[in-house]
Amino acid sequence: MKIKIEHLKKNYDGKSVLNIEELEIPSGKITAVIGPNGAGKSTLLNLIAGIDLATSGKITYAGSEAIPRNQITMGFQKPYLLNTTVEKNISYPLKIRGWDGPQIEERVQRLTNELSLSEFRKKKSWKLSGGEVQKVALARALSFSPGLLLLDEPTANIDPSTVTEIEKILKRFNREEGTTIVLISHNLAQARRISDYVVLLNHGKVMEANDCAAFFKTPSKEDSKRFIAQEIIT
């Protein structure tokens, strides 16, 4: 799902927090949105998801301004799970979309296997560790094969082995199912590892947007060079 943004502005209490003249997020790719704190990354994701409304401008989804809510899912840094078992959390989006029992079982089995959650299928959500919660939330988000997956710091504050698992599953689903993924990350190494495209935001504006390899190897803007070198940009 290709996302096109034009003249997008968002103000809070008269203060501009996002001002993007033009940005295209490629279809079927993993796009990393990076930048310092307060750059407008989460605001951008919320606008794309339709959680928040823009002050002005427009976002189009595969050429349409209508938000395809049944094709979009969003994962948060601190996800909320239903107060039930792991398998019921994962199957919930499938049930409300009318999938039948065998289809649901097949999908849940695949996701729990790939995310090393098989032994936790009957475990209650409130008994899971932080990393397990993130994996269940990701499995639930991927359960119905969304066209667009939006992730706000999905691997923050979890152990490295779980980070590796999550990155692998994101790359696999992107490759096999063509899911367009937009990922906010403060981890430049992660952005370099898994993304195809990188967007650098600062003060609500796009500083640079380019293919991942070109962005890290030959950034065109001085702010990009400094940010990659982990220097402070103002």
- Give the CATH number for residue 10: 3.40.50.300
Q: Is residue 134 part of a domain?
A: no
Asked if residue 78 has pLDDT above 80, the reply is: yes
Report how far Cα 136 is from the mean position of its chain's Cα atoms.
15
Q: What is the pLDDT of residues 126-146, one digit of tens each?
A: 999 988 999 999 999 999 999
In a domain, 105, yes or no: no
- Residue 79 confidence (pLDDT): 87
Tell me the Cα Rg of the chain: 18
Q: Check whether 111 has a pLDDT greater than 90.
A: yes
Query: Contact at 8 Å (CB) between 71 and 79?
Result: no
Q: Supply the pLDDT for residue 213.
A: 94
The mean per-residue pLDDT over the stretch 97-112 comes to 94
Per DSSP, the three-state class of 92 is helix
Per DSSP, 187 falls in state -
What is the value of pTM for the model shown? 0.92
Confidence grade of residue 156 (pLDDT, cut at 50, 70, 90)? confident
Residue 90 placed within a domain: no
Residue 13 has pLDDT above 80, yes or no: yes
Q: Tell me the mean pLDDT in the region 22-36.
A: 96
Q: What is the dihedral of CA 152, 157, 160, 162, to 10 degrees?
A: -60
Tally of domains within the chain? 1
Per-residue DSSP letters for 218-231?
S-SSHHHHHHHTT-
Q: How far apart are CA 132 and CA 120, in angstroms?
A: 9
What is the domain extent for residue 29?
3-79+146-228
Contact (Cβ atoms closer than 8 angstroms) between residue 193 and residue 155: no
Structural domain includes residue 156: yes
Q: Is residue 166 part of a domain?
A: yes
Q: Is 221 inside a domain boundary?
A: yes
Strands 72-75 and 148-152: parallel
With a pLDDT cut of 90, the percent of the chain lying above it is 76
- Most confident region among 48-62, 63-77, 215-229 by mean pLDDT: 48-62
Beta-bridge mates of residue 182? 31, 150
Query: What is the pLDDT, as a whole number, of residue 10?
Result: 96
Q: Tell me, what's the pLDDT at 159?
A: 87
| Buried/exposed 190-220: b ≥16 CB within 10 Å, e otherwise | bbbbbbbbbbbbbbbebbbbbebeebbeebe
